[in-house]
Structures are given as structure tokens and as C-alpha cells.
Amino acid sequence: MPIHLHPTSRRQFLKQTLAVGAAAVLPRPLLTFAADTEIDPHTVALLADTHVGSSTEATRGKMNMAANFVRVAKELAALDVRPAFAVIGGDCALSAGLPAEYRTLAALLPAITRLRIPLHLVMGNHDDRKAFYRVLKAHRPAKPLVTGKHAAIVEAERANFFLLDSLDVVNKTPGRLGEEQLAWLAKALDARTEKPAIVMSHHQPELPLPKPGEKIRKGNGVQDTAALMKLLTPRRHVKAYLNGHRHRWGRTTHEGIHVIDIPATAYAFGKTTPTGWTVARLLPGGIALRLQSSDGKHKDHDRKIELKWRS
């Protein structure tokens, strides 16, 4: 079983979320998931950009975000094995991290947590830490790993996950990790070299890096990408970087590090871009990814992609 730093008390979390009306939102069958489903310590559920609105009726285009969230929970419940944990990779809220948005999210989260799947939430540019902690009290660490940031480490059997906070300014698109968080990450990585390291934030690194003499591109991703990659590249046990933000399914590499875009659960930016979530299975020398598209019709739906770790 993975070790979660900082952990959330399941009893405390369920008490809190049920108090804000989860039972009124969730379909009855989801409240009684089979308790004997085997846990696979190597399987992880990856979500991103849930964009939950101030009510369960909130929509963007033709997408109902709450309905998409519950659909993912149903698909999780239908897996042959129970994932060791799940991550929502930022932009949990729809607009500016409003308390009403987090109250809706709190009512939806038991669709996953009642499956007895530990759940970690990452901060994105549409989130607000203060409102998030005010509503989702169980997710507020007693002692933050990084001051002013919502960072966490999940130590699984075949890899360690380092969940970073790239929220810079609420409701402003670009992200930033900051010197303090990067310094903490360097120490945390150096203290855990025995297993592959997978780093995740909401924002994508701005790649490729500019060549000498070229002007730095600002973009809408991690604004301190150069410092981030200077930190990650020489640490050979860093194997992958996961991010949301771009509402797409894609991947690239940087110096052998796999950089993977996790699709949005809420809605897509393009007509051919899938929405949904990703099943990740850690392998002895890499990772296998399977896109679970919302409608099951995308060309990449349920197609397994195996990526090998750099040496």
C-alpha cells in the first residue's frame, strides 16, 4: 500500500463531505461499493481539470461537469482491481475557486472516496487555496510540506509521486512553482532515490527549452520551467512529469523524461480532443497508460501505451 504524506483521515473526510449533502447528489448504487475488490498497489487513477461548478447543474458547452465526475466514479468501480490511489491534477473548481464550487466538489468526492480509494487533489489556476481549505478541511495539512503551497508525496511500491502546487495567481492562466517549492523538491527527490520518481503539477512545463540566445517563451504553463528542468534532468531517477491544464491527451519527452498531458474530466478545448481520465499501471521498468474517454468512442479509448523509463 502507498504511504501518503500528508494523509487524509477517511473517517474525518467522509464525515465532512456527507455533511454538505453528498447523499443527495450521488446515485444510490455508488454508496455501497463492493468492499472485497482487490487493491492493485501498482494501479493509479489520474484525473485532471474537473472544473466543478457552484451547483451540480453547471455546464460548459454540452458538458455537465458533475455528471462527468460521477461517470468516472462508476468507471472506477467497474475496474477489475481497485487503484492504490487517485489524483485530481488541478483546476478542481470551475472559475476562481469559489466556496460554492468546493461545496459542490465536497458533495461529489464520496463517489470516489467511498470506493475506499485514497484521493489527492492538486491546485490549478482556477483554484483558491484559502477557499479550498475552508470547505475541504480534511485536505488541509497540519504542517505543510512547503509554506503556502499544497504539496504532497505518495510513496508507492514501484514509484514515488511528488505532487506539486503550480497555482500562482488565482484565475490567471500561467503557473509557477517558486524557489521555495523547487528547493523542497530537490531535497525530497534526493531523499528518495531508491525508486523511480514521478512529478506532477497542474501546469505543463514550457518545452522545448529555448536554445542559447533565444528569447524565453512565457506561454501559459510553468513559468519557471528552466529552473525546474535544471533540477529534474540530472536526477536520473526522475522518470516522468504529469500535468493537466491543456485539456488534452498527449505526451512528449525532455532528456528522456516522459511529459504526459492528462485529459480533462470536465470538458475539452477541441472537437477531437477527448475528455475522461487515465488508468496508469506502474511496471518494473516503466508505466502503462490507458485513456478512458467519456463517450468511449475516441480513437485512443482504452488503448494501452507503454512507456519505458530512462536509464
Name the DSSP class of 204.
P
Q: Predicted confidence band at 109 (pLDDT cuts at 50, 70, 90)? A: very high
Q: Predicted confidence band at 239 (pLDDT cuts at 50, 70, 90)? A: very high
**Interstrand relation of 82-88 and 119-121 (parallel, antiparallel or unpaired):** parallel
Element containing residue 153 per DSSP (H, E): strand 152-155
Residue 125 pLDDT: 98
Secondary structure class of 276 (helix, strand, coil): strand
Distance set, CA 62 to CA 57, 73, 107, 113, 266 (Å): 11, 20, 22, 27, 10
Q: Given the C-alpha cell 529555448, which residue does it identify?
A: 210
For 127-140, write each residue's pLDDT tens digit.
999 999 999 999 99
For 128-184, write each residue's pLDDT tens digit.
999 999 999 999 999 999 999 999 999 999 999 999 999 999 999 999 999 999 999
- Rg of the Cα trace of the chain? 18
What b/e sequence results for 191-201 when a residue is b if at least 16 CB atoms lie within 10 Å of its CB, and e otherwise?
ebeeebbbbbb
* CA-based end-to-end distance of the chain: 26
State mean pLDDT over 233-250: 97
Q: Predicted confidence band at 4 (pLDDT cuts at 50, 70, 90)? A: low
Question: Which triple of cell numbers denotes residue 197?
Answer: 520518481
**CA dihedral (243, 232, 121, 54) positive or negative:** negative
Amino acid at 82: R
Smallest CA-to-CA distance from 241 within 157, 166, 133 is with: 166
Answer for the pair 264, 244: CB distance below 8 angstroms, yes or no. Answer: yes
Secondary structure class of 135 (helix, strand, coil): helix
Query: Is it the case that residue 275 has pLDDT exceeding 70?
Result: yes
Q: Given the C-alpha cell 477541441, which residue does it identify?
A: 270
Residue 81 pLDDT: 93
Percentage of the chain exceeding pLDDT 90 = 82
- Whole-angstrom Cα distance, residue 112 to residue 78? 12
Query: Is it the case that residue 15 has pLDDT exceeding 50?
Result: no
More confident residue, 262 or 34: 262
For 20-69, write each residue's pLDDT tens digit.
444 445 554 444 445 567 899 999 999 999 999 999 999 998 899 999 99
Answer for the pair 122, 79: CB distance below 8 angstroms, yes or no. Answer: no
Question: Which triple of cell numbers denotes residue 22?
Answer: 453528498
Q: Predicted confidence band at 5 (pLDDT cuts at 50, 70, 90)? A: low
Average pLDDT, the chain: 90
Question: Domain ranges in the chain?
Answer: 3-308
More confident residue, 18 or 171: 171
Element containing residue 284 per DSSP (H, E): none
Answer for the pair 267, 65: CB distance below 8 angstroms, yes or no. Answer: yes
Backbone angles phi, psi at 259, to 5 degrees: -110, 115
Backbone angles phi, psi at 292, to 5 degrees: -115, 95
Secondary structure class of 32 (helix, strand, coil): coil
Answer for the pair 30, 71: CB distance below 8 angstroms, yes or no. Answer: no
- Whole-angstrom Cα distance, residue 216 to residue 47? 30
Residue 244 pLDDT: 98
pTM for the structure as a whole: 0.91
For every residue of 62-82, DSSP letters joined together read TEEHHHHHHHHHHHHHTSSSE
For 94-107, write each residue's pLDDT tens digit.
999 999 999 999 99
Task: Give the CATH number of domain 3-308; options: 3.60.21.10, 2.60.40.10, 2.160.10.10, 3.40.50.720.
Answer: 3.60.21.10
